[in-house]
Amino acid sequence: MQIVHTLTDLRAALAGRGKPAFVPTMGNLHDGHLALVELARPRGDLTVASIFVNRLQFLPHEDFDSYPRTLERDCERLRAAGCDLVFAPSERDLYPEPQTFKVQPDPALADILEGQFRPGFFTGVATVVLKLFAAVFGTTGGGVAAFGKKDYQQQLIIRRLVEQFMLPVEILVGETQRAEDGLALSSRNAYLSEAERAEAVQLSLALRALARDALAAAEGLPTQAAALEQRAMQALAARGWQVDYLTVRRRIDLQPPRPGDGSGALVVLGAARLGRTRLIDNLEI
């Protein structure tokens, strides 16, 4: 497995090797990332992962500085997973000058949920993903790229980015990988204390309960959703969580359910803070 840091070296390493299957990451890899490598690998001629902690998608008070940077260990895991090439640029490599042109995703999709609580987050994500796609696919005539379903809103936005800019990239979406107790795997789980780790599964349990309530409401869901969400948020808050949202939405556009939206069309999503760790999760109904 080859590790490159600059665009020039990346392009040289890609030359003549066919269509890449690409997994963009911010490093500190867990089994969820490796499952994406497994998903993408058979869909390309060579498997490429990127490791880059993207300052543009962090708010000033967020964990950009403390985000774990574990390049050596990440590369070992990627090598073992059958990855062929790692692109690990420095900030200067990826942003050689201040990024004055940015991608502004549709506010109807990007300013709600995560975007409401992390303003500018999806502009940062969409901008770096477009740059990474240009780096990886710019000279290869396209390929596939894999993203995790745990970041539900992110994968929707990236799919729209690809459609709207007519990028020659097929987006693959991998299922959320979970620990034995059901906690969604996330790099940020590393921040949890032992007691918080034991409590953390309650977010996915709260989503399951909300999904059950949503299904039980059936035709009445559009009018009852807000009250069900309120009850779910209060229950989690009573356990000591700071809840940003627990909500039932349409899978297609993340808007509230409308009459006729039943199972197969809906997803419950949640974000809440346990101590200093903010966790997100979702469950398709």
Catalytic residues: 33
DSSP code string of 176-207? PPB-TTSPBP-GGGGG--HHHHHHHTHHHHHH
Question: Shortest gap between Cβ of 33 and ligand PAF (angstroms)?
Answer: 8
- The yes or no reply on residue 206 touching ligand PAF (CB under 6 A) is no
- Supply the Cα-derived Rg of the chain in whole angstroms: 19
- How many angstroms separate the CA atoms of 144 and 168, rounded? 8
Label residue 53 left, alpha or beta by phi (over 0 means left) and psi (-120 to 50 means alpha).
beta
- Identify the residue among 129, 157, 192, 254 touching ligand PAF (CB under 6 A): 129
Question: Shortest gap between Cβ of 140 and ligand PAF (angstroms)?
Answer: 19
- How many angstroms separate the CA atoms of 119 and 146, rounded? 24
Stretch that binds ligand PAF, among 19-27, 58-66, 218-226, 243-251 (CB under 6 A): 19-27
- The yes or no reply on residue 151 touching ligand PAF (CB under 6 A) is yes
Q: Exposed, middle or buried, 25 (CB in 10 Å: 0-12/13-18/19+)? A: buried
Q: Give, as ranges, the residues between 66 and 125 that touch ligand PAF (CB under 6 A).
A: 125
- Identify the residue among 20, 24, 257, 270 touching ligand PAF (CB under 6 A): 24
- The yes or no reply on residue 153 touching ligand PAF (CB under 6 A) is no
The helix or strand, by DSSP H or E, that contains position 115, with its residue range, turns out to be helix 114-117
Closest CB to ligand PAF among 54 and 282? 54
- Identify the residue among 20, 25, 112, 211 touching ligand PAF (CB under 6 A): 25
Which amino acid, residue 70? Answer: T
Q: Which residues are annotated as a binding site?
A: 26-33, 57, 148-151, 154, 185-188
> Under the rule (CB under 6 A), what is the footprint of ligand PAF?
24-26, 54, 57, 125, 128-129, 151, 154
